[in-house]
Structure 1
Amino acid sequence: MNRLAARRRHPATLFVLILAMLLTLGTAYAVARPQGATASATASSAQDVEEGKKLFLANCASCHGLNAEGGPNAPTLAGVGAASVDFQVGTGRMPLAAPGVQAMRKDVQFTDEQIKQMAAYVASLGNGPAIPSEELTNGGGDAAKGGEIYRVNCAMCHNAVGAGGALTRGKFAPTLRGVEGKHIYEAMITGPQSMPVFSDANLSPEAKRDVITFLQHMDREENPGGFSLGALGPVPEGLLAWTLGIGLMILAAIWLGKKAA
Structure 2
Amino acid sequence: MTTETGKGGGLTARMRRLAAPRRRGKAARRTGATIRMLAALVLAGGLYVAVAPATQAADAATLSRSAEDGKALFDQNCITCHGRNAQGVDGKGPSLIGVGSASVEFQVTSGRMPAARQEAQIPRKRPFWSGEELQQNADSLGQYIQELGGGPQLPATIDASQGDVANGGALFRVNCASCHAFSAGGGALSSGKYAPGLEEATDRQMYAAMLTGPQNMPVFGDNQLSPQEKLDIIAYVQGMKSDQDPGGWGLGRFGPVTEGLAIFLVGIVALVFATLWIAGKS
Same fold by TM-score, threshold 0.5 exceeded?
Answer: yes
Alpha-carbon distance in structure 2 between the residues aligned to 1:162 and 1:235: 16
Aligned partners of 2:111 and 2:125 also within 8 Å: yes
- 1:212 has 2:230 as partner: no
How does 1:101-250 map onto structure 2 within 5 Å?
101-110=120-129, 111-134=134-157, 136-237=158-259, 240-241=262-263, 244=266
Alpha-carbon distance in structure 1 between the residues aligned to 2:263 and 2:117: 38
- In the superposition, the TM-score normalised over structure 1's length comes to 0.73
Give CA-to-partner distance per residue, 1:71-124, whole Å, 9 cap, x none: 323210011100100110011111112221111011111221111111111111
Selected match of 1:87 from 90, 102, 106: 106
How far is the alpha carbon of 1:235 from its aligned partner? 5.0
When residues 106 and 123 of structure 1 are mapped into structure 2, their CA distance, relative to the original with a 3 A threshold, is same
Superposed CA RMSD in Å reads 2.5
Q: Higher mean Cα deviation, 213-222 or 249-258? A: 249-258
Aligned partners of 2:210 and 2:221 also within 8 Å: yes
- In the superposition, the TM-score normalised over structure 2's length comes to 0.68
Alpha-carbon distance in structure 2 between the residues aligned to 1:53 and 1:170: 34
Secondary structure in structure 2 of the residue aligned to 1:124: helix
Which amino acid is 2:86 matched to? Answer: A
Q: Which has the larger radius of gyration?
A: 2
Alpha-carbon distance in structure 1 between the residues aligned to 2:63 and 2:279: 81
Identity score, percent: 44
Alpha-carbon distance in structure 1 between the residues aligned to 2:149 and 2:121: 25
Secondary structure in structure 2 of the residue aligned to 1:67: helix
Alpha-carbon distance in structure 2 between the residues aligned to 1:137 and 1:92: 23
When residues 53 and 226 of structure 1 are mapped into structure 2, their CA distance, relative to the original with a 3 A threshold, is same
Aligned partners of 1:87 and 1:187 also within 8 Å: yes
Alpha-carbon distance in structure 2 between the residues aligned to 1:257 and 1:45: 84
Aligned partners of 1:52 and 1:119 also within 8 Å: yes
- 1:47 has 2:70 as partner: no
Alignment match, 1:78: 97
Q: Which runs of 5+ in 1 are unaligned?
A: 1-43
Secondary structure in structure 2 of the residue aligned to 1:200: coil
Alpha-carbon distance in structure 2 between the residues aligned to 1:148 and 1:239: 26
Q: Which runs of 5+ in 2 are unaligned?
A: 1-61
When residues 218 and 45 of structure 1 are mapped into structure 2, their CA distance, relative to the original with a 3 A threshold, is farther
Alignment match, 1:26: none
How far is the alpha carbon of 1:47 from its aligned partner? 2.5
Alignment match, 1:56: 74
Aligned partners of 1:137 and 1:212 also within 8 Å: no
Higher helix content, 1 or 2: 2
Aligned partners of 2:110 and 2:127 also within 8 Å: yes
How far is the alpha carbon of 1:237 from its aligned partner? 4.2
Give CA-to-partner distance per residue, 1:115-162, whole Å, 9 cap, x none: 11111111111121112222x343312111111211111111111232
How far is the alpha carbon of 1:66 from its aligned partner? 2.1
The count of residues paired between Structure 1 and Structure 2 equals: 216
Secondary structure in structure 1 of the residue aligned to 2:162: coil
